[in-house]
Structures are given as C-alpha cells and as structure tokens.
A and B are shown apart, each in its own frame.
Chain A
Amino acid sequence: MSNTPPNKPSDSSPADQHTPVAGARSFFGAASRQLDDWLAIEPDGTVTVYSGKVELGTGVRTALVQIVAEEMDVAIERIQMVMGDTARTPNEGYTAGSMTVKSSGMTLRRVAATARQLLLEMAAAELGMSPDELTIRDGVITPRGAAGPRVTFAGLMAGGRFDQPISETAPLKQPEEYQIVGTSASRLDLPARFTGQPSFIHDLRLPGMLHARVIRPSNVGAKLIDLDDASVRDARVVRMGDFVAVVAEREEVAIRASRSLRVTWSEAAPLPAMEALHESLRHEQATVRVATASGDAETAIQRAARQLSATYTMPFQAHASVGPSCAVANSDGESLTVWCATQGVHPLRAALAGLLRLPEERVRVIYMEGSGSYGHNGSDDVAADAAALAHELRQPVRVQWSRADEFAGEPKTPAMVIDLRGGLDQGGAISGWIFEGWSPSHGNRPRQEGDFLVGRQMGAAEPPARAFVVGGDRNAPTDYTMRDQRVTIHWLAREPLRFSSMRSLGAFANTFANESFMDELAAAAGADPLAFRLRYLDDPRARTVLETAARRASWGESLPPGEGRGLAFARYENTEAYVATVAEVAVDGATGAVRVRRIIVAHDCGQIINPDGVRNQIEGNVIQSLSRALKEEVRFTPAGITSMDWESYPILTFSEIPEIDIVLIDQPGQSPVGSGEPATVTTAPAVANAIYAACGARVRAIPLTPARVSAALNASVRK
C-alpha cells in the first residue's frame, strides 16, 4: 500500500464521456493564436488589446494592462483594452474561476512579448543594427547607451498588421526586471465611477429604445392561465408563450404597468418544506463518485481509539448583486445585438442563437459592466429576455429586472450536505477520514434555450442534468497528508431551486465542513488547532500561510471570557492559492449573537501582479463570505421563494464590518494564480471555530445565526 498522500483531487471515473480537460477547454473558449487578433499598434502610438475576458469589478482590466505594458515597454496610459465583444475579441469563454490573470494574463504576456520582439526586429532592420543593440522606452526604440536615431512602434507599423502567430519562444522579462507588474497601479475604471460617467449596462440608452419589465410567477414552471390586457392602458403587453412583458417609451410607465397587469399563473409543483431540505437531498437521484481515496479509511476508523462524526449543511444562497440585472438588445429580425453583463460573451452568443433560431454569426454580444455578479447571476437571463423582446418587436429594448425579479430568478448556489467521520488513535493522531458530500454540479451557465427562464416559458423543456460536473467536489479533498481517507460525492441530478455557479462553488461548504471537523478532531485530541493542523502539512507554502496568520493574530495569547479565536486553512482547489484565516469573535451567551471583531488573512497567490488589487479582492472575499457565513439563507415555502428583498435576505452592513488585517506573501518566482475566490472559503470555518473557542458551541449549519449558536450552547451545557 502506498503512503503517498492523495493531495491532488482526481476524477477517476472512466465512464465519464466528458473529461474535465475537454470541459475546461470549452469553458475557457478556443482563442485564436494569431497576434493581430489580440493586439494592434494604432497610428497615434497607442496599443489596443483585445481580450475575451471581461471586467467584473475585480480589477482584471488594470492587471492585464499592467502585464502588457510591462512586457512591451509601453506606458499604461497608452494601452486601451477592448473586452468581451463577439465581433472584436478572441473567444476566451467565461471570465470565472479566478482564472483571468493566471490563464488570459499569461497569454497576453506571450502576445506582448511577441509584439515586442517583432518590433525590435523591424527596428533593427530599419536602423541597420542588431536587436541586441536596441532598447525600448514607452513605445520608442533607440540604440542602447548613446544617443542615435529613433523609431517608434507606430512608425514601424504604419497602421499595418503583424501577420504572425503568437510566439512561444519570444523572450519574457525576468521578475527582477519588472517595473510595472508588482506595483499597485490605480484601477483604470474607477475615476468614471466616482464622477458619474456612464459606467454600466444600466446606463446604455439607444435611440428609439423601449423600456421593458418582465412579469414572472414566483415559482419556475408555473404556466400562464390568464392575462388581462385591459388591466394596462398606456403600455404594450407582449406575450410569447408563457413569457409576459410590458413595454413603454417611459420607464416609469412600464413599471406601473408591470404592477397593475392582472396575470393568473397555474400552481407549479410544490417545493419541499424548508426544514426538510437537507434531509431530502440525501434521497435525490445521485451519481456517486469517489473524488479521492487512499489506504483503508473504514478499517482505520473502526480500529481507532475514538470515533467522531458530524454533519454540516449549506443553504441556498443568492449572488444578491446590488444592481438587479439589466440588458439592452436590438434586432431587425435577421440579426441581433445584445449588450449585457454576461461573464461569457461567446458562450452566450451560441445559446441566444439557439433560443431565437438565428445563425450564430448573426448574433453579436457586447459586454458592458454590471453590478458585481460573483458568478452566474441574472445577467444571462435578462440578456435573453431583452433578446427575445427585441427580436419580436424589431426595436431596441432595455429590460431592467426588479429587485424581486433578481432574487426570484437568479440561479442560487445550491444547498449541500456533508457527513464527516474520523478516528483518533491512542496518541491523538488522525486514524481514518471519510467525507461524504451531497451536491449537484454547480455549472449551469446557459448552453441551450431551456437553460434560460424565457426559454422555458417559450416552451423549451427543462434540460437534463449535465454529464460534465463541476464544483460539488471543490476542496472536498483536504490538503492534509492522511494515510487512510476517502472522499465521496453524491452528485445530485436536481435540487428544489434553480441553481448554478457562485463564487468558489462547492469549496465554501466543503471547506466549512473539513476545517470545522479538523477543529473537532483537534479538540477531541486535546490538541491546539494550529499545532494539530501543522502535523499534517508538508508543503512549506501551506505551513507558511498558517503560521503567518497565527503569529499576526497573536495565536495562543489569552482573550477575555466569551471571546475566542478560530483558524482555517485551505489551498484553493487543492492546486491554487494558499490561504489561512484567523477570526476573533465575541459571543453573547444570552442571545447567541456573534460579534466578529477581527479577521486576519495570510495569502499566497504566487507572483503578485498588483498588490493593492489583490488586497481589494481579499477584503471583498472576507466581507462577502462573512456575510454568507453569518446571515445568508434563501428562504422559501412550498409555494415559492420568499427572500425577495433586502429585509428578507439581509447582508452584512457597515456596523458589522470587522477589522481586516491582510498579509500578502509574494512569490515573484512562482506563476500567478487567482485571488478572486480563495479567501472566500476559509472565513466560515474560522468563525465557527472561533465561536467554539469562545463558548464551546459547535455550529455545523450555515448561516451561523444567533438561534443556532444559542441552541448549540444549550446542547454543550447539557453535556
């Protein structure tokens, strides 16, 4: 038997026709390898970069510009970035999974290096010198050292094309040469935000544009029984199958009409009672797959001196973008243009072409920024709503979803259940670890008409569960070296609410379970949670983030009664950034209310392109995941979703924001990996572990509400 730790998750099912590699390739597109498709030197000396990725408010526009500026020796100000336009930019699939800097950034590094090398060769030919004798400064090429003749990028290109493929061998700069990468360049898009310049899809107004509002049932699947057109006077009612919208020249008229329109819906299949949700998931149809296994976990647990088991649950949560989704579309019946905040212009184009039975080349999708999305929110559905209406009306149409449309319609992050079992030997060492999770695939971005709300309402069938599964197993395997372990996922075919991708996918729930259970084992072994984890970590980068966060948090120093510290560690996706979080909390024993005072994060995402950008991402991850950990749960009754506004789906407010202390561990010699998600996964377990340290209450359900803390507190007192 091998003692090699199975630290890498593997999909070992030979039955799966759609291998993860093939799925991942189409997910991130099939981009051109021709230089001119990525970059152009304009006659005015500026450089235009074409990126199939989009700016989601995470700062990738700035980071990508930094990478190009560095590699080409051009000032940041001279670079303009065209992002996400099916008519102009390469197909890079989705902007997701914290992959933009890691994958697209490295492609652009090659693109810029190729352009730089070709320009140097052209300059050398023109000046009768060798490329080695030349130097570049902000797009101007001169002989090294002495003054001499100069040529510019613009002069060399004269508006022409490179007509060359991207070179894999053009020399790249060494990290120690960097002057732009690694600096906190200011976000290029923020001045417009802070002065009221048009910034969002919401701000696009086309001549002759109609304002539309959609009218939907509270439960997907309900059918239209009756529509009373006469209940609306000054707006036009559009009906396409079971899809109903009102359109008007003035937005407020469309809004009033959407409220007064009398619509009768059939009753859809009832949802389960909310209290029975997690138990019901265990009985859904599922495909069982082992994510990783080594040794004989079952026997190891049976032979252990002590056995522990626990169940952890994750509710449905909403992306809850502050700005409800919006899109504008225009059509002459033959071709269609859609402006929207999708995370993938090319995949959306294909799906919209299918929805409206148009050839793909007649559909153009242009990205415009929306409110932050954090995954697959309502942006694709609202784009399809606008496309369907514009195609029907042959006129520009703007669809703005209401707050309730967004909460009801957006695909949620799915509910999950995780059972953990483990053993401890006489010496307090782990003897066997068994993880069993219930999750659907988290990837339901639109591919066909039935994936859109409007598609279903226009008659398309509900698509079957996809063969290529993603997300439910993310960070289900731990990063700890354990001899006997087994990690199994029950991939569910369906869940009661519509679901898809949200920041970190299943890693939020899986890390909550793993890192809570690690703490439970440490407590049972009478060990310090930090020392206990370090026993099972061999990777020096993993040890460093954990030790750094603990030191920064004064780990081990005593706190007043009712206060406690908890920690959690993960390597995101087991292969990406390393992150350790320490939470410091105070628990009110009478009410169960948790006050999170301080969050400390140590973060290693390899080479850092923009330190302030990474800090901004980490702060955002911490605050959003703290909100998810403490407060968020989509509520529903058998009749439908009842979390429809900010009172029924509260998120963290300014009064609840803790002090946040971040330590960045830069690794200039390592490839950069994403920072958009990793610090989301360690917050909830760190807080849950801190609650336990503060008062002995072990809460195993997200959100960690006062009621649950109180109940756990009472249970721990009774013991």
Chain B
Amino acid sequence: MAISITVNGKRHEVAATPDTPLLYVLRNELGLNAPLFGCGLEQCGACKVLRGAEAVMTCMLPVGDADGARITTLEGLAEDGELHPVQQAFLDEQAAQCGYCSSGMIMTIAALLWATPHPTDEQIRTALDGNLCRCGSHARVLRAVRRAEALMWGDGN
C-alpha cells in the first residue's frame, strides 16, 4: 500500500520509501520550503510542522509513521489569504534576523496557543526551548507570542 499524507489540505501519495524522514518528502517531493534542515537529530526545531494540532519535528520521523496524517506547514497556516495571528505577530514585532528558525518557532507557538490559550511566561519559554536560534531574536519572539495571544483570544479578560 502506498503511503499517503495530507499536507496543507491536499492529499499526496508518497514515492519515498517508508523510512525516509518526513522532512525530505515535504521539501523535495512536495516542493515546500518552510520546514528546514537544521540537525537531523531532533535537537533544534527548524523542521517543525503541525501534525493535527501538535508541533512535531520531521527530520527523523519516518514518513511511514505519518501515513494518513494531516500535516500543516508554514505555507498552509494562512487562511483565505489572511496571515495566521502568529505570523502577523512575528511581522509586527520584526521577530527574526536571518529567519532560518522562524518557521519552526511559528509552528511551536501556533500549537501552544491552541492547547494553552493564555500560557504563563514559563510555559512559553519551556515550549520554545526545543527551538534553537543563533541570531538572538528570542526577546522579540517572546513579545510576538504575547501579541499573537492577544490577536487570537483577546487580552484574556
């Protein structure tokens, strides 16, 4: 049986062998660019996508284990041409330098704000500890989380 995955709302039959990490299927078979190779060791978070509503790393996840999964990459996060609140917040806060880690961070935060609409500072930092950034845009990213929270759910009152 061929493996199939649904990515950004569209179903795809996968040509790669089942042991191929999902990252290479997304990038090379489907031509997506947002999930990026950072370590291949599940240490840095650059390759994160949403599987259902959960942020997962794709650099070691065999595509065979994702058979039937619903995957959302950064390319599929906007709806009807409108940016997702986390994307909008990143723009408003100019929350990047090189931007290599941005996609993985946006996925982590989108998942966090669905599961925990009003996270504590510690919950935000813990959720993002799996996303490494070398340029040092952390302070902006933390501000962007609060801005996204307000855009998604109001100010919490």
Interface residues of A (CB under 8 A from B): 56-59, 186-187, 189-191, 193-200, 202-203, 205, 250-252, 255, 319-324, 369-372, 374, 400, 402-403, 612, 616-617, 619-624, 627, 645-647, 651-655, 657, 660
Q: Which of B28, B73, B94, B101 has the most CB of A within 10 A?
A: B94
Question: How far apart are the CA atoms of A252 and B38 in the complex, in Å?
Answer: 15
Question: How far apart are the CA atoms of A512 and B46 in the complex, in Å?
Answer: 32
Q: Which of B16, B83, B99, B101 has the most CB of A within 10 A?
A: B99
Interface residues of B (CB under 8 A from A): 16-17, 20-21, 24, 27-28, 31-34, 36-41, 43-44, 46, 73-75, 77-78, 83, 87, 90-91, 94, 96-103, 106, 122, 124-126, 128-129, 131-142
From A189, A255, A323, contact of B38 by CB (8 A): A323
Beyond the given pairs A193-B102, A200-B33, 4 more chain A to chain B contacts, judged by CB atoms under 8 angstroms and listed by A's residue number, are A202-B33, A403-B38, A403-B39, A403-B43
From B16, B94, B97, B141, contact of A186 by CB (8 A): B94
The answer to whether A250 touches B43 (Cβ under 8 A) is no
Q: Which residues of A contact B44 (CB under 8 A)?
A: 322, 646
For residue B89, which residue of chain A has the nearest CB?
Answer: A194
The answer to whether B136 touches A196 (Cβ under 8 A) is no
Q: Which residues of B contact A371 (CB under 8 A)?
A: 98, 100, 134
For residue B17, which residue of chain A has the nearest CB?
Answer: A252
The answer to whether B106 touches A194 (Cβ under 8 A) is yes
For residue A59, which residue of chain B has the nearest CB?
Answer: B97
The answer to whether B142 touches A657 (Cβ under 8 A) is yes
Q: Which residues of B contact A251 (CB under 8 A)?
A: 24, 27-28
For residue A660, which residue of chain B has the nearest CB?
Answer: B139
The answer to whether B20 touches A194 (Cβ under 8 A) is no
Question: How far apart are the CA atoms of A429 and B17 in the complex, in Å?
Answer: 73
Q: Which residues of A contact B21 (CB under 8 A)?
A: 252
A sample of 5 cross-chain residue pairs with beta-carbon separation below 8 angstroms, ordered by A number, consists of: A194-B91, A195-B78, A205-B28, A372-B97, A619-B140
The answer to whether A252 touches B20 (Cβ under 8 A) is yes
The answer to whether B73 touches A193 (Cβ under 8 A) is no
Question: How far apart are the CA atoms of A154 and B134 in the complex, in Å?
Answer: 43
The answer to whether B129 touches A655 (Cβ under 8 A) is yes
Q: Which residues of A contact B128 (CB under 8 A)?
A: 653-654
The answer to whether A322 touches B133 (Cβ under 8 A) is yes
Known: A619-B139, A654-B125. A320 touches B134 (CB 8 A): yes
Known: A196-B103, A369-B98. A323 touches B138 (CB 8 A): no
Question: How far apart are the CA atoms of A371 and B137 in the complex, in Å?
Answer: 13
From B20, B37, B102, B106, contact of A202 by CB (8 A): B37
Report the minimum CB–CB distance from B78 to chain A (whole Å): 7
The answer to whether A190 touches B91 (Cβ under 8 A) is yes
Question: How far apart are the CA atoms of A189 and B129 in the complex, in Å?
Answer: 26
Question: How far apart are the CA atoms of A199 and B101 in the complex, in Å?
Answer: 12
The answer to whether A194 touches B39 (Cβ under 8 A) is no
The answer to whether A645 touches B98 (Cβ under 8 A) is no
Question: How far apart are the CA atoms of A73 and B111 in the complex, in Å?
Answer: 44
Report the minimum CB–CB distance from B33 to chain A (whole Å): 4
Question: How far apart are the CA atoms of A437 and B37 in the complex, in Å?
Answer: 39
Q: Which residues of A contact B94 (CB under 8 A)?
A: 186-187, 190, 612, 616
The answer to whether B40 touches A403 (Cβ under 8 A) is yes
From A190, A324, A621, A622, contact of B96 by CB (8 A): A190
Question: How far apart are the CA atoms of A59 and B97 in the complex, in Å?
Answer: 7
Report the minimum CB–CB distance from A291 to chain B (whole Å): 30
Question: How far apart are the CA atoms of A322 and B133 in the complex, in Å?
Answer: 7
